[in-house]
Structure 1
Amino acid sequence: MTPVAAPSPRRAAPASLRAAPAPSTLRLGLFGCPLDTGNAGVSALGLSTIRGILSASNAEITMFDFGAGERRADLSIADRSVPVRLVGLYNSRRYYRTSNLTQALLAARASLGRLHPACRTILDLDAILDISGGDSFADLYGQRRFTDVTLPKRLALALGVRLILLPQTYGPYNLPSNRAAAARIVRGAAQCWARDEHSFSILRGLLADAFDPAKHHTGVDVAFGLPAARPADELAAPVERFASQWPLVVGLNVSGLLYNKPGEDAARYGFRSSYRGLIDELLRRLLALPDVGVLLVPHVAPTRPMIDDDGAACDAVLRGLPASARERVHALPRGLDASQLKWAIGRCAWFCGTRMHSTIGAISQGVPTTAIAYSDKTLGVFATAGVARCVVDPRTLEGPAVLDRVLDGFTSRDAAARDLADALPALFARLDEQFRTIVTGIGA
């Protein structure tokens, strides 16, 4: 298989991937990064993982998703067509289906793996690579999400298939039982990677005396390697037209997770003031600046109505603007994939986002960015790119201070761009080496 080309960001590019293909074809399964969720951050993890693995090896990829049965797909990654097998396998209340993870785990524990179709699929693989949607190996999002995310890991371990935890966030674990379950998983995994130093310290705590520097690593978020791709003309032309009309285009990602349900920001995530109020005032202040156009970037846009829909949040933001201001704001449409969203983000002179992978789409291209964080994950990932100071945390700051810090990020964007230019070459080199190490470990 032809290796997938490395991304070509606007301001900085990763080092070339020079690893020779492995002499034999690896059969690898991916969990935690399906392409059918409507979450561009999760899709970015999936596409970037495939790109990275194929850059370092020959591999046949099986991606486990929420679809029906087994299917074949040709994915476009860095202008290349990559064949991937898609297999529906997920948690649900339909326990009678063979695509149900709980049913598969029970079969594995009863030594019936060779009789169960989903278990047979996994047993035929050389390894399971699991990335947990980047940040969901935690109980931050509730017990149901924690169960959904841990089931594939438990299944791989029950079947005796090599489990590799790709660079991700570990924790927080608010319940002792969840922390104990996470500890059992990481101790059973063949490799564990954290995507920042803070998360690596949590991983080491889970491992305790089982820590092994040959197996347990700190790395970088794989989505830094996502290629940007210009969409078709009918989607790209309105963005390019808008960008040409304004001397300074700033991008804004509004998180539906926080904007669409007032009070959730404080109750679940510990914000000290209203996220909705912050976004509305930030937009008002940006539009008060001459020559500024604002590009609204929804990074979670599911096809069915969901409370955390960024697209719905953008619609609400637009409805709240006076008619005279709306001509200075352009909202990206639904239907853009992760690489196309990254292309649009690359048109911006400054970006502000709450969804962390929207901000990675910016900083990986050298676009100066301010992140509004709702968990510890953002600070750690920004630190890997040398711009930790560009993270604003509403859990520790009051509303006016949050807004001031965000606007400071806008005015100091040139300094942030210089910091990114200095840091990105080394980061991309780490990304390259990370995949080589992962692949070498699978073959060991």
Structure 2
Amino acid sequence: MQQHINSRPFLFVGNGSRKNLGCEAIECGTKQILRAAFGPCKFVSVDFGGDFRPDEPDIDIIHKSLNVRRFTLSWWSRHLLRAIGCGVWFPAIGKYMSEARAVLALGGDNYSMDYGSLGVHLDLLDYVTERGKPFIIWGGSVGKFDKKGGVYREIVAQKLRKATLILARESVTTEYLSQIGVECNVVRVADPAFVMEPSKPQNLPFDILTEAIGFNFSPLMARFVTGGDLQAAQSLVTEVVRDIIKTTDRPLVFVPHVFRPGNNDYIFLRGSYDILQKEGYPVQLLPDTLTAAEVKWIVGHFTAFAGARMHSTIAAISSGTPTLSFTYSIKSIGINRDVFGSERYVIHPRKISKSFVAQQMASLIREKKDVRSLLADRLPHIRKLAFSAGDHLAKSLAGSS
């Protein structure tokens, strides 16, 4: 009987492709957690976005792509069926759902409204729960829903109460869900990327210097810093990095983490890299061909790190590297509070200026021994929380069988 159960896959839904290394880190950590709790596992991942995914080295997972963006065939189908009263329909997911042990909504912040409408993700929750399959919001940040008013907030809360489990990756989410009356199915865990193992790259075009500073910034952050003006944001990044190098007298490595069209860290950071290299500053730019595990290995060797992509900062923090987080949402705030006990190393968009960031980085480097000691003390607990997600899922599935 156990052998039959183990042959049934876990169905992942909602994660992005490996053009986003954060999505890759979530998947890698999730597989590790589930294997620790359930033993050998099979997985099917229906990735949202329709982006290209390279060959998968893990023979135990099958990847399928579903493009749910506005005005795609999937988008029109959902809205047409709803308009004629037929409910929502996800054939690409339904194809695998009957055999799945459970449906895990990956992606981290799909239920946070950071990127606009929750429509497709709430439809997915309804689709799965109405068919009696366990639905788990896995290692996510949830909320806030206040921007659309109290009525909408209560509608979302009612839907979230139908989820089998909400495994929240940080305490700000659990506090918010409690405030809106979603508590019975909520458990605090940690982001699965905390347990992804690093992997040493084979062919880096330059040596990683342990005295170097790692730096990530994103086109997405420009929306919050310069009102979406990418040219102004790139000029600001160039000034910030120039001042960091002058203030700390250390080399700096640009670390791109997302490579999607229209939201590509590599292209964005390349502009600042080219300018600073021509000016003679000691800068390097990581290639856009590395895996999430390889980037984690690299940032683990830096003296300090500053990043806008949350999973670039998780890669650094989980490696014990002192880290500053540029943040625009609850997810980074919550994770910093849970790891460091405060928001001391969080930099909000309105404070991003060349002098302030350089001063914060210099201060972080001066305190690096204490910060590394704090991380060494806290990370075992954070890893334990991440692995506890598998135990909570196993207990829930055992109770429903």
**TM-score band, normalised by shorter chain:** 0.7 to 0.9
Q: What is the 5 A alignment of 1:148-297? A: 148-173=120-145, 174-176=147-149, 178-206=152-180, 208=181, 211-212=183-184, 215-231=185-201, 233-234=202-203, 236=204, 238-239=205-206, 241-243=207-209, 248-259=211-222, 264-265=224-225, 267=227, 276=234, 279-288=237-246, 292-297=250-255
Q: Secondary structure at the match of 2:42?
A: strand
Aligned mates of 1:230, 1:331 — CA distance in 2: 17
Aligned mates of 2:390, 2:304 — CA distance in 1: 30
Q: 1:52 aligns with which of 33, 52, 56?
A: 33
Q: CA deviation at 1:421?
A: 0.8
Aligned mates of 2:265, 2:158 — CA distance in 1: 35
Q: What amino acid sits opposite 1:284 in the alignment?
A: R
Alignment check: 8 A CA contact 1:104 1:118 kept: no
Aligned mates of 1:318, 1:39 — CA distance in 2: 21
Change (3 A) 1:124 1:188: same
Alignment check: 8 A CA contact 1:256 1:310 kept: yes
Unaligned runs of 5+ in 1: 1-19, 269-273
Identity of aligned residues (%): 22
Q: 2:298 aligns with which of 344, 351, 362?
A: 344
Alignment check: 8 A CA contact 1:287 1:325 kept: no
Unaligned runs of 5+ in 2: none
Alignment check: 8 A CA contact 1:119 1:159 kept: no
The answer on 1:138 being equivalent to 2:107 is no
The answer on 1:34 being equivalent to 2:16 is yes
Match of 1:4 in 2: none
Change (3 A) 1:147 1:67: closer
Q: CA deviation at 1:434?
A: 2.5
Q: 2:335 aligns with which of 364, 381, 394?
A: 381
Aligned length: 390
Alignment check: 8 A CA contact 1:27 1:125 kept: yes
Q: 2:61 aligns with which of 75, 80, 84?
A: 84
Change (3 A) 1:211 1:386: same
Q: Please provide the CA RMSD for this pair.
A: 3.4
Q: What amino acid sits opposite 1:265 in the alignment?
A: V
Change (3 A) 1:73 1:56: farther
Q: What amino acid sits opposite 2:154 in the alignment?
A: A
Match of 2:267 in 1: 312
Aligned mates of 2:314, 2:108 — CA distance in 1: 12
- Normalised by the size of structure 2, how large is the TM-score? 0.85
Q: What is the 5 A alignment of 1:67-106? A: 75-76=56-57, 81-92=58-69, 102=78
The answer on 1:365 being equivalent to 2:319 is yes
Aligned mates of 1:185, 1:175 — CA distance in 2: 16
Moved over 6 A (4+): 20-23, 111-114
The superposition leaves residues 11-33 of structure 1 with CA deviations (integer Å, 9 ceiling, x where unpaired) of: xxxxxxxxx99974443111122
Change (3 A) 1:111 1:330: closer
Aligned mates of 1:52, 1:21 — CA distance in 2: 19
- Normalised by the size of structure 1, how large is the TM-score? 0.77
Change (3 A) 1:149 1:404: farther
Alignment check: 8 A CA contact 2:248 2:362 kept: no
Q: Secondary structure at the match of 2:60?
A: strand
Q: 1:428 aligns with which of 355, 380, 383?
A: 383
Q: Secondary structure at the match of 2:267?
A: helix
